Chains A and B, each alone.
Chain A
Amino acid sequence: MEFPILSVMIFTPLLGMIIVMMINKEKHNLIKWTSTLISVLPLILSLIILFQYDSSTAEMQFVEKSSWIPSLSIQYFLGVDGLSVPMLFLTALLSTISLIVSFHIQKRVKEYFAFFLLLEAGMMGVFCALDFFLFYIFWEVMLVPMYFLIGVWGGPRKEYAAIKFFLYTLFGSIFMLVGILVLYLKTGTLDMLELIELGPTYSHAMQNWIWVAFFLAFAIKVPIFPFHTWLPDAHVEAPTAVSIILAGVLLKMGTYGFLRISYPMLPHGTQFFAYPFAILGVIGIIYGALVSMAQKDLKKLVAYSSVSHMGYCVLGMGVFFINSEGAAHITGLAGCIFQMFSHGLITGALFLLVGVLYDRAHTREIAAFGGLGAKLPVYTALMTAFAMASLGLPGMSGFVAEFMVFVGAFASPDFQVMTGIAVIGVVLTAGYILRMVQRVFLGEFNVKWKDLTEINGREIFAVAPLLILTLALGVYPKPLVNMISATLENIVYLVMR
């Protein structure tokens, strides 16, 4: 039997959680170091997968399949393709970074790190699971640690934010459960690949209904306008590390769900809803950018910018099947995946950096700062770099993603005007990002902050990989594009059936 690399990757953090729980709760440093080092193992494994993955085929790889509850035909079924491999790497990377960033946690340290490892296991599981039952378990498992991480270690309105996040997401999941059950009762299988095979056999009406059910679950996660209001609350209240995970990984599960489940499994539903879906993407881009511009809190600004940036993903996905001729519009879809990865890096870094400032200044109010560039040159340089990445500066990964989405979207003659409107987002983004940069870093130095200390080595160490990857993918996107293209072609084929 082959080495079960995926299982090991998923269950290492789980094991880590148990180990951490056995450590004396007073030994803070031991707990912090143990959990951080444990999270490095999945990171290494994800790198191994990244390099060993054969990108010439859309077949599932590193598959592990065994019967679990035979009477209900539930399997333990894991596997990865070009869609999940980059996401696994992103998850592992951001988890380790988040743990490094969490070293300043002083309250109930043991529980915090234990929950974090549980969260990591859940996220990994979602990206690997190919059995619906398993998928749903991982999907829900994630929620629990997330709820506590926001609700216990969060800001002033943490209970409200945590409950809102939990219930809102759960509300969506229930519709997903209904969709899964309908599919199960219809086909008698929970094997996602089989269900995809059977995709075209479902009646159109049924596909549409299930599509809507899944849409609710995934749209809340992405979040797609108008299901986004949990996001700013959750982000503002969550501790820095949790914001990183929330923006970097959890949001991607929404788009991942669409591409893994809704699209290949319900081809007719996907085509049926393509147009309104794409329009929601355009609304998200513009709406998110406009609302960002009105923000006074740094974290809320970044949170709303996520709504805008995830809108590019939705546009890239949605526009794909409007008047499509064969695989012609794969570029938009590729842009979507690129954006998922890129947004994880950039927004993760932005939340990290906002957290760095918050730890020192104990405020995130944009107007409270000013002229920090003179006092904190390194911090300013890093923040400016990611701000530029966020506004889609060429040479950074975000630009490649946006450009690909737009190229794909413009290929649909019926959608050119809407795409043109979406491009306005590029200007609006420059507007709110530069306003923020100016009000925080430029202008006259506010002497109130004369004792502010520069970003420290540990924090630079945490953010450096994100900067390197953002630049690397911006300058040389080929590896990621190559990795996803076979899988994308397969998705296209499956939807066009």
Chain B
Amino acid sequence: MREFSWIIPALPLLSFILIIFFTRENRKLSSGISIASIVIGFVYAVALLLRQIGDNTPFEMTYAWAVFPTITLEVGIWIDALTTIMLVVVTTVSMLVQIYSLGYMHDDPRYSRYYSYLSLFTFSMLGLVLANNFFLIFVFWELVGLTSYLLIGFFFEKKSAADAGKKAFITTRIGDFGFMIGVILVAAYMGTLNYQEVFHGAANGMIPPAILTIAAIGIFCGAVGKSAQFPLHVWLPDAMEGPTPVSALIHAATMVAAGVYLVARSMELYMHSETAAMVVAIIGIITSLLAASIALVQNDIKRILAYSTVSQLGYMIMALGLSSFTAGTLHLMTHAFFKACLFLCSGSVIHAVHTQNVQSMGGLRHKMPITYATMLIATLSIAGIFPFSGFWSKDEIVASTVGHPIFNVLTLLVAFMTAFYMFRLIFLTFHGKPRDEHAYEHAHESPKSMTFPLIVLAILSICAGWVAIPWLEHGYSMFAYHHEPHHAHAHWDIMIISTLVAVAGIGLAWLMYIKGAISPQKLGQRFKALYTLLLNKWYFDEIYDAAVIKPVLAFTRGLWTFDGGVIDWIVNAFGRFTVWLAKVKQWFDQHIVDGAVNGIGYTIWGFGAIIRQVQTGKVQFYGFAIVFGLVVILLARVI
């Protein structure tokens, strides 16, 4: 059955084509086609996963796409445990988000187009997961970027949405610049881009270590862009301009995790380059801290979640950099479920109160019990509370930092901040008294098409992590990472410490936002500089604008002036010089050359005028002349 797994991405592609060209006018049919295609894909993906659990040998099929003397670019499928896990995650979230969108996007005039974009995204994302080589993953990598661009800017009449789409595309392209160089370096040195051949080559020293490091860091640059890592994290919070279900699917659960997937997939490159692996880990932890710190003070519900996503992605990246394949990929999976749940819950809230500012919410738990319950579950999961999914994966992440004290402390700090800002969000949104009576009055629970996905995701937020319960023979790591079974024991100490840290974070949030023992306002006043810094997101956007964007634009204008003022001026000057030369020549012609010619002409004319006198046309004169001539000749003879 694995031979036909290309069907999983092919169906959404077909759905995209059908909607764009045929069923655009029929809204119900469009969404129906889109959902049907993903449901089939989901069933197939689950079947593949079960099959892979039964027999964990990898599978590959490949087809030569373009053949050159130095390299053959391939199109193919690689299926191993990680592939099947990712397939299930992507199809699950995509399916639930598409069902959710039935309600959420119900009144949108571009409803069919929305579903066509979702289908295109799902196709690209599944292709990315199934690819068996770096070339193909790059292709799909760019395509998910395109669909992300289209969906962020879905409400393109809004300038902020259009701006955000452009920013996302260009920022991730900067990362792709490195990705492309990395991939091409690998191609140039190894003559192949097939994963297995590349890993084999790296293990056998087919590529000089320095080049391997550059290539591995280059590939990581792609992940930095796509997974919104420092310093290219700035696009993700802005991407929240897209419809909320899109934020859940693309900018929380799947596409932004593609960077993590890429690093996990290329794990064997990083194993052969300590420098590259350390770069990965450091970028990961910096991102994680930075984003968590910003999330502490934001007031836009989606932006809090966006920074949380950035922070959690940093976690995963760090774990991978510290060579913990299990931790990175496990957290990728659990995060996909609980973060999708959180975003969809936030969408449900926004749908109800028509604002994104948590400061004007409050008390909504009475009005929206299902949303509240599911969001609370997901929040407990992300905070890492036993026995929710997040607990197990975060446990693995903390375990990966054992032996690296700095990472260890910072990871726990991030865990503390995460628990705090997530519960701040919950308390401000659902607890306490409504701060905006009008919004509160009109709030209502969302329709079933929206609450059903929430419930499913909440269940997954509880259970998905159980695959990694240490007492179950490390089922997850044994399955996912077939090269080196992960033999860690149950880390009682880590479990206890990280639970304490999480509870402390929740407790602080409780003290501040429920009990009122500590006033957030006063705290903000006390640490005004820090508060302002965080509220303004460390001024990254402002710095980039002043240090990069404005100078580049000024430079382009300067170059344009140079183009017209110097290069083209020279061309025109050359032209003018030629014209001037022609004029000089004309003068020369008229006065000197023509003068000479005319001079000769005048001379001849002059002579002619004289001679002409002789040509009188009178016979008498000619007769006289002849006689006269004869006389002269005769005389001359005689004399």
Contact = CB atoms under 8 A, between A and B. Distances in A.
Contacts of A395: 139, 143
A139 interface: no
B524 to A, nearest CB: 35
Contacts of A331: 68-71
Contacts of B279: none
Contacts of B163: 438
Contacts of A327: 69
A229 B563 contact: yes
Nearest to A412: B188
B143 A330 contact: no
A371 B157 contact: yes
Nearest to A325: B70
A427 B557 CA distance: 18
Interface in A352-369: none
A315 to B, nearest CB: 13
Given A294-B556, A393-B146, A445 B66 contact: no
B17 to A, nearest CB: 11
B68 A478 contact: no
Interface string A423-436: 11011001100110
A167 B169 CA distance: 42
A420 interface: yes
A411 B189 CA distance: 8
Given A427-B177, A438-B162, A406 B559 contact: no
Contacts of B555: 290
A374 B157 contact: yes
Given A420-B181, A438-B162, A168 B187 contact: no
A295 B575 CA distance: 25
B138 interface: yes
A188 interface: no
A410 B188 contact: yes
Contacts of B67: 478, 481
Contacts of A394: 138-140, 142-143
Interface string B150-175: 00010011110111011001100110
Interface residues of A, number: 57
Contacts of A230: 571
Contacts of B149: 434
B4 interface: no
B274 interface: no
B65 interface: yes
A400 interface: yes
Contact of A167 (B156, B161, B552, B575): B575
B180 interface: yes
Interface in B62-104: 65-71
Given A287-B559, A290-B559, A331-B71, A406 B156 contact: no
B170 A427 contact: yes
Nearest to B180: A423
B159 A443 contact: yes
Nearest to B68: A331
A50 to B, nearest CB: 19
Nearest to B73: A403
A197 interface: no
Contacts of B70: 328-331, 407, 411
A441 B556 CA distance: 23
A293 B166 contact: no
A13 interface: no
Interface string B594-627: 0000000000000000000000000000000000
A152 interface: no
A404 B68 contact: yes
A426 B162 CA distance: 21
A294 B65 CA distance: 38
A406 B157 contact: no
Contact of B567 (A229, A404, A435, A481): A229
Interface string A284-304: 000100110111000000000
B142 A431 contact: no
Contacts of B559: 287, 290-291, 294
A444 interface: yes
B560 interface: yes
A478 to B, nearest CB: 6
B176 interface: yes
Contacts of B564: 229
A296 B67 CA distance: 41
Interface string A458-497: 0000000000000000001110010001000100000000
A219 to B, nearest CB: 13
B177 A478 contact: no
A430 B177 CA distance: 11
B543 interface: no
A105 B212 CA distance: 59
Interface string B29-48: 00000000000000000000
B297 to A, nearest CB: 30
A28 interface: no
Contacts of A329: 70
Contact of B157 (A426, A435, A445, A476): A445
Given A291-B559, A410-B187, A442-B153, A330 B177 contact: no
A434 B180 contact: no
A373 B169 contact: no
A437 B69 CA distance: 38
A424 B176 CA distance: 10
Nearest to B570: A226
Contacts of B188: 407, 410-411
A410 B185 contact: yes
B66 A477 contact: yes
Nearest to A384: B150
B66 A443 contact: no
A244 to B, nearest CB: 23
Which residue among B161, B162, B163, B568 has the maximum number of chain A CB atoms within 10 Å of its CB? Answer: B162
Contacts of A294: 553, 556-557, 559-560
A420 B214 CA distance: 12
Given A330-B70, A394-B139, A407-B70, A427 B146 contact: no
A478 B65 contact: yes
Contact of B169 (A168, A423, A430, A441): A430
Contacts of B262: none
B205 to A, nearest CB: 18
A407 B563 contact: no
B184 interface: yes
A443 B160 CA distance: 8
Contacts of B557: 294
A229 B570 CA distance: 10
Interface string B52-64: 0000000000000
B176 A426 contact: yes
Nearest to A388: B146
Contacts of B161: 442
A226 B143 contact: no
A442 to B, nearest CB: 4
A438 B166 contact: yes
B180 A406 contact: yes
A203 to B, nearest CB: 31
Contacts of B165: 438, 442
Interface of B: 65-71, 135, 138-140, 142-143, 146, 149, 153, 156-159, 161-163, 165-166, 169-170, 173-174, 176-177, 180-181, 184-185, 187-188, 552-553, 555-557, 559-560, 563-564, 567-568, 571, 575
3 tightest CB-CB pairs across the interface, nearest first? Answer: A442-B162, A394-B139, A229-B568
29 contacts: A229-B563, A229-B564, A229-B568, A290-B555, A294-B557, A294-B559, A295-B560, A330-B69, A330-B70, A331-B68, A334-B68, A394-B139, A395-B143, A403-B184, A406-B180, A407-B70, A407-B71, A411-B188, A420-B181, A424-B177, A426-B177, A430-B169, A431-B170, A434-B170, A438-B163, A438-B166, A443-B156, A443-B158, A444-B157
Given A331-B71, A438-B166, A445-B157, 8 more contacts: A410-B187, A426-B173, A426-B176, A427-B170, A434-B169, A443-B157, A478-B67, A485-B68
